[in-house]
């Protein structure tokens, strides 16, 4: 099967543009989850001041969104634990009855990972930043593994990071993180040869943890971001069972090709709807697109086109 038929883009793409929020310059790389009989999301809004802020949005169908024009106010009880003026690329994972938000909380010392929890998307408790800077991508697994919270994360540098490997880490209490294990890095050549980073939270399947990730290569004109897929061992998720040699999605549409940063397809959240995986992704650092795949076909594709 050709890769273009695994994910089918929604015909009404892009589903969210800057028009959704009055002060927005762009809305992209955001985190959407099922919530009660609808959907909730934590959205990355790049404002007209070029501060990057996080906003809650809600939707009945996951397509038409109502995004709060005011950014999320988190409570930490400690003035030194706060939301940075550059807060971006959120991921949200449900574990039990709690939603865990991770994002890039870009402190003075460089990009850092922020962590918050909420049950209702109204009150957010911010925790200590779980990892030291610089680190730009982090997502929590949807259940504890071997009794511990588990994450995938991607150490980086303070700039545009011309490298990047995915690591696994665990914590007994959301405060102390360790046992960092290498999961996978860029390849020798091809669409994922510069860096890779975890996308939406891994999804548990009988074939392993299904991970959609971003892969980047460096063209004469700069970075190009695409989406790939992997299956990780259920008990030891740092062990890669399969990983796509061919990309799953590449920026081919005009709204993915042209924008504040051109040629960026950045997968950031995924929702399971029966046998379908609905993927939300940032387009050219400007707007949000949606695409769907049959989960069995997706897993077959990853296995057949593995490195």
Instruction: Report CA-CA distances (Å) from 85 to 96, 106, 149.
Output: 30, 7, 27
* H helices, E strands: number in the chain: 2, 22
Distance CA 61, CA 43 (A): 16
Instruction: Rule CB under 6 A: say whether 103 interacts with ligand BMA.
Output: no
Q: In this chain, which stretch among 70-78, 146-154, 172-180, 261-269 interacts with ligand BMA, using CB under 6 A? A: 261-269
CB–CB of 200/268 below 8 Å? Answer: yes
Instruction: Rule CB under 6 A: say whether 246 interacts with ligand BMA.
Output: no
The residue from 282, 288, 292, 298 that contacts ligand BMA (CB under 6 A) is: 282
CB–CB of 232/172 below 8 Å? Answer: no
Give the footprint of ligand BMA on residues 59-98 (CB under 6 A): 88-89
Q: Which is nearer to ligand BMA, 65 or 225 (CB)?
A: 225
Shortest distance (Å) from residue 153 CB to ligand BMA: 14
The residue from 266, 280, 281, 301 that contacts ligand BMA (CB under 6 A) is: 266
Bridge partner residues of 168 (DSSP): 152, 181
Shortest distance (Å) from residue 233 CB to ligand BMA: 28
Distance CA 280, CA 199 (A): 10
Instruction: Rule CB under 6 A: say whether 141 interacts with ligand BMA.
Output: no
Distance CA 165, CA 160 (A): 14
Distance of CA 158 to the CA centre of its chain: 19
Instruction: Rule CB under 6 A: say whether 102 interacts with ligand BMA.
Output: no
The residue from 46, 47, 285, 292 that contacts ligand BMA (CB under 6 A) is: 285
Instruction: Rule CB under 6 A: say whether 307 interacts with ligand BMA.
Output: no
Q: Which is nearer to ligand BMA, 198 or 282 (CB)?
A: 282
Q: Which residues lie closer than 8 Å to 218 by C-beta, 6 or more apart?
A: 162, 193, 194, 224
Instruction: Report CA-CA distances (Å) from 152 to 6, 73, 200, 289.
Output: 24, 26, 10, 23
Instruction: Rule CB under 6 A: say whether 29 interacts with ligand BMA.
Output: yes
Shortest distance (Å) from residue 229 CB to ligand BMA: 19
Distance CA 110, CA 52 (A): 14
Query: Using CB atoms, what's the residue nearest to ligand BMA?
Result: 261
Give the footprint of ligand BMA on residues 202-231 (CB under 6 A): 225
Binding residues for ligand BMA (CB under 6 A): 29, 88-89, 136, 225, 261, 264, 266, 282, 285
């Amino acid at each position: 099967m050709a890769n273009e038929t695994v994910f089918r883009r929604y015909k009404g793409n892009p589903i969210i543009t800057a028009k959704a929020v009055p002060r927005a310059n762009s809305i992209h790389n955001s985190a959407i989850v099922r919530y009660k009989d609808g959907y909730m999301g934590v959205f990355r809004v790049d404002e007209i001041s070029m501060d990057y802020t996080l906003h809650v949005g809600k939707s009945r169908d996951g397509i038409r969104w109502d995004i709060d024009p005011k950014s999320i106010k988190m409570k930490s009880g400690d003035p030194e634990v706060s939301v940075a003026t550059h807060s971006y690329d959120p991921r949200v994972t449900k574990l039990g009855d709690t939603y865990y938000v991770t994002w890039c909380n870009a402190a003075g010392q460089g990009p850092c990972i922020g962590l918050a929890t909420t049950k209702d998307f109204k009150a957010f408790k911010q925790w200590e930043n779980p990892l030291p800077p610089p680190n730009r991508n982090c997502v929590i697994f949807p259940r504890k593994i071997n009794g511990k919270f588990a994450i995938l994360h991607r150490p980086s540098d303070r700039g545009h990071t011309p490298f990047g490997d995915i690591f696994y880490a665990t914590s007994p209490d959301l405060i102390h993180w360790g046992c960092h294990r290498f999961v996978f890095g860029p390849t020798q050549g091809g669409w994922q040869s510069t860096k890779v980073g975890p996308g939406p939270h891994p999804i548990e399947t009988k074939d392993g943890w299904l991970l959609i990730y971003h892969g980047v290569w460096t063209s004469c004109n700069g970075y190009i971001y695409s989406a790939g897929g992997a299956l990780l061992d259920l008990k030891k998720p740092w062990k890669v069972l399969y990983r796509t040699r061919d990309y799953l999605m590449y920026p081919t549409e005009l709204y993915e090709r042209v924008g504040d940063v051109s040629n960026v397809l950045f997968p950031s959240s995924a929702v399971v709807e029966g046998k379908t995986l609905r993927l939300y992704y940032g387009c050219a650092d400007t707007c949000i697109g949606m695409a769907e795949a049959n989960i069995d076909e997706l897993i077959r594709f990853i296995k057949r086109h593995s490195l």
